[in-house]
Amino acid sequence: MHAFEPFSEAHGPGTRAVLWLQGCTLGCPGCSVPETHPRRGHRVGVDEMFAQFAVLDGWIEGVTITGGEPLQQRRPVLRLLARLRAETSLPVILSTGYTWDEVVRMPGAAALLDRVDALLAGRYERGLRLDRGLRGSSNRTVHLFTDRYTPEDLGAARDAEPAGRADGPEFS
């Protein structure tokens, strides 16, 4: 993992725990978090990571998982999402640089989409940058799987906190 912030006021509606995964090969021009691109990071197990979220259940609105590229660590991310879904009431927003068409062709796509409340998909495009909201650039798409959030919730959210604000783990 690259970083963990337990009480972020950005990265989605309400106060959220944010996990930045380490490692991304997608290379979007203008990416604001190039420090998340190398694969090497702080290694952490899924159970340890889950425990950091679980103690926050009832204290925060939800969880945001971003990167780096979460879906380049798909297996541990799916295991973490399964535990969050089964053992907490925390809704999850996951942001990926993969497009929707790429996501739905990935192994485990059905499980992924069953375990998140909202998915933001697509490469960041500098020329289409948005000043507000979680999408980052207007080409990126929003996919909602529960009634927990609306497109307006995600469009109004601040996204001003830099990655790496807090120290935290990378999946091993």
Which range binds ligand SF4 by CB under 6 A, 20-28, 45-53, 101-109, 111-119? 20-28
| The Cα angle at residue 111 between residues 59 and 105, in degrees rounded to 5 | 130
Is residue 130 within the footprint of ligand SF4 (CB under 6 A)? no
Is residue 20 within the footprint of ligand SF4 (CB under 6 A)? no
Nearer to ligand SF4, 34 or 155 (CB): 34
Is residue 26 within the footprint of ligand SF4 (CB under 6 A)? yes
Is residue 134 within the footprint of ligand SF4 (CB under 6 A)? no
Query: Which tokens in the block code for residue 39?
Result: 């694969």
CB 8 within 8 A of CB 161: yes
Q: What is the distance of C-alpha 78 from the center of its chain?
A: 12
Alpha carbon distances (Å) from 105 to 15, 78, 99, 113: 32, 15, 10, 12
Is residue 11 within the footprint of ligand SF4 (CB under 6 A)? no
| Residues engaged in binding ligand SF4 (CB under 6 A) | 24, 26-28, 31, 33, 36, 67-69, 97, 123-124
